[in-house]
Structure 1
Amino acid sequence: MKCIEVTLGDDKIFELGCEFISQLRELESSCFEYHWSEEQFRLGLEKKAFYVLGYVENGFLVGYLAYSLVLKEMEVLNLGVHPDFRRRGIGRALMLNLMHKCRQMEIKRGLLDVKETNHPAISLYESLGFKKVGVRKKYYPDTREDAHLYDLDFDGF
């Protein structure tokens, strides 16, 4: 799989806008079987229904984190790292960046769901202080796997 080249400054993590939709879709398709359409990305970003952080390594978009903000809650929608760049701390860096933003905005709670078999992601989220609070049976449309629900109380962290 090829990586997506981008032209930016020295920042590794930055907010992505609509101009990055094609790169986002290509990156997402290398990360997941089930992915968002161009229209879903465009409408979500245009209407600010969600936001996306990107991670650049040597000029290539290799990771992204989509999240939403509603009142004082943040929800992680998608976290993806190109397969050739996994296990290098990119997912952690994106999550820590988002958590820092949340604290600055006085967000009170963080939420996410994760496939029951995604052990690396579960380990990451738990190491960051997320606690398992429930299960949604057969939640994911691509695999029919259960979703494990996680919660983070920013006040208690």
Structure 2
Amino acid sequence: MTQKIAALGLDIGRKRIGVAGCDGTGLIATGITTIESKSFADTLSQLQAIIEERGVSLLVVGLPYSMDGSIGFQARQVQKFSKRLSAALHLPIEFVDERLTSYYAEQMMIEQNVSPSRNKGLIDRKAAALILQQWLEDRRKTIKAKTTEQPENS
């Protein structure tokens, strides 16, 4: 029996937080909502409601590395905020490289004839889904690699 996956993907920005969830099998991530960041307490209560409703046990946060792979100012801000969320929600966090996720989300919208400039919240939700999808795929690869490794001298 496979373990149910209850992760929440977050695309944390200065004004908004895109939120995505996954099906219990861990195959597909989808955008859930976008939280307008009014205050930490407000953000916390909105996330808490989603976490309780979905039985979430892990936060997957997109970390905006610089294009050269370094951790810049914005990434440090996201780390700081995420650690605060993690402590307040009593949930572990894992970070995923989120470079270009917002760009890809915008491109997906353009292909669907949806205006990115008029739908910033949708971009954030889609970016959160891309972040969570990347984590799910990396997790599957890791599990597959572990199950195919056989110890030579068991």
**TM-score, normalization by structure 2:** 0.28
More helix by share: 2
**TM-score, normalization by structure 1:** 0.28
More contact order relative to length (CA 8 Å, sep ≥ 6): 2
More strand by share: 1
Structure with max Cα Rg: 2
